Amino acid sequence: MTTELTTILNRLPCFPLLDGPTPIQRLTRLEQMLGDAAGGARLWVKRDDFMAVGGGGNKLRKLQYLIGEALARGCDTFVTTGGLQSNHARQSAAAAARAGLACELMLSDVVPLHDQAYRTNGNLLLDDLFGATVHHLAGDANALAAAQARADDLGREGRKAYVVGSGGSSPLGSLGYAACAAEVLEQESALGLRFEALVLPNGSAGTHAGLAAGLSAAGDDPRRVLSFTVLAPLDKALTDTRALAAASLRLVAPERSLPEGAILIDGSQRGDAYGLPTTAMVDAVRLMARSEGLLLDPVYSGKAFAGFLDRAKSGAWRDRDVLYIMTGGVPGLFAYCDTLASDPAGAR
C-alpha cells in the first residue's frame, strides 16, 4: 500500500523543496543522560528541520503541494496567514522566492509578547530577507478573510493570487505529511523496526492530519501518531485534526475511513496560551541542545518534546522504539532570547 500511496501522491502538481527523505537518528546521548528514567525506551528523531530551503521545517512538505498547485493554476502571488513569528510564513516566503512567486503575509498579533526581539527578530527578520510583503493585523482580525480580500485587490490589478490559511493546513497541504508517513514506513523497513509512537507538535493540525491520513491510506494504524497541542485547546484540536485528516484521506484513498479513536492528542504542554513560554519547554530545549547539539523551537517542538520526555519517563514506552518528528522553527529561538538566555543554574 505504501507504493500505491506514493503513486497517487506523485500524480499531484508538486514543486520540489526537499532534497530527499529526511534522516532518522538515534538520540543515544540523550538516552545516556536520562538513564533509567527513560525506562529503556529507545528514542529516535526524524529530522524535518534538516531541509535546505528557508531554514527548513515541516511546512516545506506542505508547501511542495501548495506551491505546485499555485503554479499549475498560473498564479503569480502566494498569500498566506500566521502569527508574527510564524514558521509557515517564513517558509512560504522562501518557497515563493524559489518558485518565482511574489509573497504576501497576513500576520496577526496573537501572542502577548512585546519585547523588541519578538517583534523584530527571528522569523520576521527572515520574512523581509526573503522579499515578502508583510501586512500586520490585530490579534482578533480574520486573517484568512484579509488574505482573500488582498487576493481580490491583486486580481483587479491583473494579477492572480493563491490563498492558503495558517500553517498551510488545507487538505491538499496536509498531504505533504501523508507523503512523510510513506517515507517513515519505508525507513522503518530499512531499519528493521517499528515505532511504537510517532510524536509531534500540533498547531494548525496539518502535520498530524497528514500523518494519520497517510498511515490510514497505507493500511497502517493512525493511532500510532501522538501530538501535543500547542495552539488550540484540546477539544478543538481533536475536532479540527480529525476533520482535516478525514478530508486529506478522501483525496488519496476515498474508499478508506479513519478508525474509531484515530486521532490522539495530549493537551498537557500548551501552557497558558499559544506562543507563551513554559518552564517545561525551556528545560526540554536546553536538554536537547546540551545532550545532542540539536535545536528545538520555543513555540512548537520545544513544548511537544517536553511531553515526549514526560511520556518516556512515565514508562509508557518501556523497551520500545519511539520517534519524535522534529519540525524545525529554529529562527523562533532568536525571538525568545529573553526567555532562553537566562539560566541561573548554568549547569549541564
| Marked catalytic residue, from 86, 204, 216, 248 | 86
Contact 117, 333 (CB under 8 A): no
Cα 240 to Cα 223: distance, rounded to the nearest angstrom: 16
> Which of 3.40.50.1100, 3.30.450.20, 3.30.200.20, 3.40.50.300 would CATH assign to domain 59-168?
3.40.50.1100
Cα 88 to Cα 105: distance, rounded to the nearest angstrom: 10
> Which of 3.30.1370.100, 3.40.50.1100, 3.40.50.2000, 1.20.210.10 would CATH assign to domain 2-56+171-340?
3.40.50.1100
Cα 196 to Cα 123: distance, rounded to the nearest angstrom: 34
pLDDT at residue 343, as a whole number: 58
Residue range 48-61, pLDDT digits in tens: 999 999 999 999 99
Using DSSP's 3-state secondary structure scheme, residue 42 falls into strand
| Cβ within 8 Å of residue 129, ≥6 positions away | none
60 sits in which H/E element = helix 59-72
pLDDT at residue 2, as a whole number: 87
Contact 143, 106 (CB under 8 A): yes
Report DSSP letters for 129-180, one per residue. Answer: HTT-EEEEE-TTS-HHHHHHHHHHHHHHTT--EEEE-GGG-SHHHHHHHHHH
Give the single-character DSSP code of 341: S
Cα 276 to Cα 265: distance, rounded to the nearest angstrom: 19
pTM, two decimals, is: 0.96
pLDDT at residue 39, as a whole number: 84
Cα 117 to Cα 33: distance, rounded to the nearest angstrom: 32
Residue range 307-340, pLDDT digits in tens: 999 999 999 999 999 999 999 999 999 999 999 9
Torsion angle, CA of 9/178/204/241, rounded to 10 degrees?
120
pLDDT at residue 1, as a whole number: 72
Buried-exposed string 174-195: b where 16+ CB fall within 10 A, e elsewhere: bbbbbbbbbbbbebbeeeeeeb
| Cβ within 8 Å of residue 329, ≥6 positions away | 49, 57, 87, 296, 297, 299, 300, 301
Domain boundaries of the chain, sorted by first residue: 2-56+171-340, 59-168
pLDDT at residue 184, as a whole number: 98
Contact 111, 196 (CB under 8 A): no
Strands 77-83 and 161-164: parallel
Answer yes or no: 86 catalytic. Answer: yes
Q: Which residues of the chain have pLDDT under 70?
A: 342-348
DSSP bridge pairs for 26: 44
Q: Which residue bears the cell 518565482? A: 100
Neighbours of 15 (CB within 10 A): 19
